[in-house]
Amino acid sequence: MSRIAYFGPAGTFTEQAARSLSTGQELVPMETIPAAMTAVRKGDAELACVPVENSVEGPVTATLDGLAEDSPLVAVAEALLPVHFTVLTRPEVRTVRTVASHPHALAQVRHWLERNLPEARVVVASSTAAAAVAVRDGEYDAAVTAPVAAQTYPLKVLAEGVADVPDARTRFLLLSPPCPPPEPTGADRTSIVASMANRTGALAELLNELALRGINLTRLDARPIKGNFGFYRFFLDFEGHIAEARVGDALAALRRRCEVRFLGSHPRADGVRATVSATATDSDFAAAAEWVRAVRSGERA
């Protein structure tokens, strides 16, 4: 049976995302995001499920760095989960002195913790479920977890539906070794990472290549290139699919200007259809290419 390696242990939000994306594969928990990616790179799993961005805390940097470094992986699908938290403790705990979770979870319950557990020391764990395991094992008193962790671990629910920001969401990717992308749907996202020499206007020129072709950017993140202080990689998500003319044309233009790694074209989980300006449809590109061909052959001018 084929396998999806996911950022675990059992009971993480990522497990929930992996379940929603699975088409019957076995789900295999990995302790860290890089470990889930390595499992795919080494062929121990066919796919990896990892979080990529959060509407409150922003990018998941371990995922971005893992996508830019080592051998290429591409996103073939995504899931979007609403994120509200459950706070778990051992039944015998009377006073919560320590509360543990993943940094993205802690960032989203800061106000709740200040109001409800002001005396508790906040401790960072590798994932929400790793925090639940540590509470079960007596290391900490409480964990901020995914709702599913309450079914996974024998702990008491102290609070449910905890979230400083209502409607917070996290987006997850299903990663594969390079492969033909899924068919375009009209509601797709394409992702790349671009690295370029540090000179005036370089990023503006890159963004212009997209704007000129009527491509709507949906995310832009910069990450430092390790060992090269002051130099950055840019992660871009935009509407559209590499199979579409405007996207293929833009990627070719970027490729001429800078180093580009393709991170996948896949359907958007929110189903939002791409806005395509009136001059940037596939038939506009085809008609323009046909005109150039005819001019070159002397049929037209």
Ligand X SMILES: O=C(O)C(=O)Cc1ccccc1
Contact positions vs ligand X (CB under 6 A): 7, 12-14, 51, 54, 83, 102, 104-105, 127-129, 146, 170
Give the nearer residue to ligand X in terms of CB position, either 81 or 206: 81
3-state SS of 92-108?
CCCCCCEEEECHHHHHH
Peptide bond between residue 181 and the one before it cis (omega within 30 degrees of 0): no
**Min separation Cβ 19 and ligand X, Å:** 12
Give the nearer residue to ligand X in terms of CB position, either 107 or 202: 107
3-state SS of 7-39?
ECCCCCHHHHHHHHHCCCCEEEEECCHHHHHHH
**Min separation Cβ 139 and ligand X, Å:** 16
Counting beta carbons within 10 angstroms of the beta carbon of residue 45, is it exposed (0 to 12), middle (13 to 18) or buried (19 or more)?
A: buried
DSSP state string for 225-294: PTTSTT-EEEEEEEES-TTSHHHHHHHHHHHHHSEEEEEEEEE-TT-PPPP--TT-SHHHHHHHHHHHHH
Give the nearer residue to ligand X in terms of CB position, either 128 or 176: 128
**Min separation Cβ 281 and ligand X, Å:** 37
**Min separation Cβ 109 and ligand X, Å:** 10
CA distances to 183, 281, 292 from 174, rounded to whole Å, are 16, 28, 40
Give the nearer residue to ligand X in terms of CB position, either 219 or 261: 219
Give the nearer residue to ligand X in terms of CB position, either 170 or 190: 170
DSSP character at residue 153: S
**Min separation Cβ 222 and ligand X, Å:** 22
DSSP character at residue 196: -
Rg (CA), the chain: 22
Give the nearer residue to ligand X in terms of CB position, either 12 or 25: 12
**Min separation Cβ 46 and ligand X, Å:** 20
Ramachandran angles phi, psi of 119, nearest 5°: -85, -15
* Measured distance CA(282)–CA(285) in Å, rounded: 5
Give the nearer residue to ligand X in terms of CB position, either 57 or 209: 57
SS3 percent helix, strand, coil of the chain, rounded to 5, is 30, 30, 40
Give the nearer residue to ligand X in terms of CB position, either 66 or 214: 66
**Min separation Cβ 26 and ligand X, Å:** 18
**Min separation Cβ 165 and ligand X, Å:** 12
